[in-house]
Amino acid sequence: MALLLAACGGASVPPTLPPAPTFAVVTATPGPPPVPTPGERQRYVVREGDTLSGIAARFGVSEEAILEENPRSDPNRLLVGEELMIPAAQP
C-alpha cells in the first residue's frame, strides 16, 4: 500500500516506483546440429524439436546407451539446452 503525502502550500510530487524486473531470454543457437564423430564419446546440446530416438539415430547409438550415459528421472522428456553425453557408436 502506497502512501502519498501532499506538501503544504506547494505542488505535490508523484511517488517514484522501482524499475520492473527484467529476465534474460535464452534461445537455441540456430544452424545445423553437429556432425557425429564416429568412435568418440561426444557432448550434445538438445535443440528444439529433438527426440531421444532422433538423437540416437543421428549418432548411430541406441536410446538405451544414451540413457545409461545420462541417468534421468524422466527419460521421455528432453529440455532445450540440456547437455547429453553420447557414447561412442559401436561398429
Whether 21 contacts 74, CB under 8 Å: no
Tally of helices (H runs) and strands (E runs) in the chain: 2, 2
Query: Which CATH architecture best describes the domain 42-86?
Result: Roll (3.10)
Segment 18-44, tens digit of pLDDT: 887 776 665 555 666 666 666 778 999
How far does Cα 66 stand from its chain's mean position? 19
Cell representation of residue 73: 528421472
Domain residue limits, the chain: 42-86
pLDDT at 70: 92
User: What pairs with residue 83 in β-bridges?
Assistant: 45
What burial letters (b/e) apply to 35-48, b meaning 16+ CB within 10 Å? ebeeeeebebebbe
Task: Look at the pTM and tell me if it is higher than 0.75.
Answer: no
